[in-house]
Amino acid sequence: MKDKELQRTCGANPTRDSIRAGSSPVRILLDYRPALRQRTGVGEYVHELAKAAASSDAFRDDELVLFSASWKDRLDPSVVSGAKTIDRRIPVRGLNFAWHRLGWPSAERLTHHDFDVVQSLHPLLIPARRAAQVVTVHDLDFLDHPEHTQAEIKRDYAALAGKHARRADHVVVNSKHTAADVQNRLGVPADRITVCYPGAPAWRARSSEPPDGYLLFLGALEPRKNLGVLLDAYERLIHQMPSVPPLVLAGKAGADSKLILARVADRPLAGRVQLPGYIEGPNREALFSRAIAFIMPSHTEGFGMPVVEAMKIGVPVIVADRGALPEVAGSAAHFFEPDDVEGLTSILQTVLSEPARRADMRARGLEQAARFDWRKSADRLHDAWTRAVEANRDGRA
């Protein structure tokens, strides 16, 4: 959308007194860049949150503006119905360096518009002259395992995240586990943190198991996902259960995936482990619908959206007893210690051998998945933005 068109629809920025009185809309700038290309976990989170917010009654009188900046990728003005867009042809790395290290340019200067809230979808602030600033913390793995990060995440997150989170008017997190981490490790008071769970997709639960299904993992093929333990357990299953179903590792391979790729190309895993690559959003439902069980062996997860997606379809879930995974899976999952190969092997063997166990896990998973709703997520986000505006107003009073 052109700036002039946006100006005509947005109008002038309301004063803080008008916001207090509730007589004028609140204008929110949401960083949509994580969803601009292939939508992995964070990208899916921002896209679905934007969709839910744009259609929520809580935002009826507010104006949501999606922001993007890229040298080659353009933001489709119609990507989220009901939201406006601002798109800048600026290299991503250049803008991130200027924002993270220089605190410039402000959102107001870059967009030529005023806002009441600017929402970052990562732990570092979007500079602003007047708007309330909100950051999102998905997990703190970048503090514990900087070797698993790269580019500006390695350069900036560990050094700046704590300072930025404490300076922010409000912090949004995606689980109670992450909320506790942000409070205890970054020093953010509990009253400036809002838990905004992701929602479940609008998928139908399958009526029966596939006759030729597979074991499934979905996520980045990186060391932080602990795939070595999953491959160790699967290799043991091959010897114990010659008819064990295939293992599908779905996700994008990166620079840290070489050892994983080499291992699955060698015996005894060759021909038994499938690597379909990154799965586009519209194809994820079909991917889950053909799974016998879903496994997430990560040492930590700030949430673990694929676990909810699996439960929504009716796929039994087997997850590591770490991070937010117990919080997300509840009583629906089988849990294992993330370094316990023998324990994971035993659970996989039990689940594959007992249809009644899978049926019980399916029922529990459907019940647990129903707790996650994007409309509730949008309401929580609206509450966080309201509190951020109040904190910013009080700080400037």
Pairwise CA distance, residues 331 & 149, whole Å: 32
User: DSSP 3-state helix, strand, coil percentages of the chain (rounded to 5)?
Assistant: 50, 15, 35
> Residues 181, 195: contact at Cβ < 8 Å?
no
Structure-block tokens of residue 160: 């700046």
Name the helix (H) or strand (E) containing 66.
strand 63-69
Positions of CATH 3.40.50.2000 in the chain: 3-198+374-396, 214-369
Are residues 136 and 170 in contact, defined by beta-carbon separation less than 8 angstroms? no
Please answer whether residues 173 and 137 qualify as being in contact, where contact means their C-beta atoms are separated by less than 8 angstroms: yes
Q: Which regions of the chain are under pLDDT 50? A: 1-23
Position 39 scores a pLDDT of 81
CA-CA distance, 72 to 343, in Å (whole number)? 47
How is domain 214-369 classified at the CATH fold level? Rossmann fold (3.40.50)
Residue 115: predicted pLDDT? 97
Kindly report the CATH number that applies to the domain delimited by 3-198+374-396. 3.40.50.2000
List, as one string, the DSSP characters of 316-369. -EEEESSTTHHHHHGGGSEEE-TT-HHHHHHHHHHHHH-HHHHHHHHHHHHHHH
Burial of residue 190, with CB atoms counted within 10 A of its CB: 0-12 exposed, 13-18 middle, 19 or more buried: exposed
User: 357-385 pLDDT, tens per residue?
Assistant: 999 999 999 999 999 999 999 999 999 99
Name residue, tokens 């010897």. Answer: 239
- The answer to whether the beta carbons of residues 252 and 328 sit under 8 Å apart is no
Nearest C-alpha neighbor of 296 from the set 346, 249, 240 = 249
- Which residues, including other chains, have CB under 8 Å from residue 397's CB and lie 6 or more apart? none
Name the strand (E) or helix (H) holding 133. strand 132-137
Amino acid identity at 292: I
> What predicted TM-score, i.e. pTM, was given to this entire model?
0.90
The 10 Å Cβ neighbour count of residue 37 is: 11
> In angstroms, what CA-CA distances link 241 with 132, 301, 344, 349?
57, 30, 14, 8
Q: Residue 12: its pLDDT value, please? A: 33
Cα–Cα distance, 7 to 18 (Å, whole number): 19
Of 247, 374, 244, the C-alpha closest to 309 is 374
Residue-level pLDDT at 255: 74
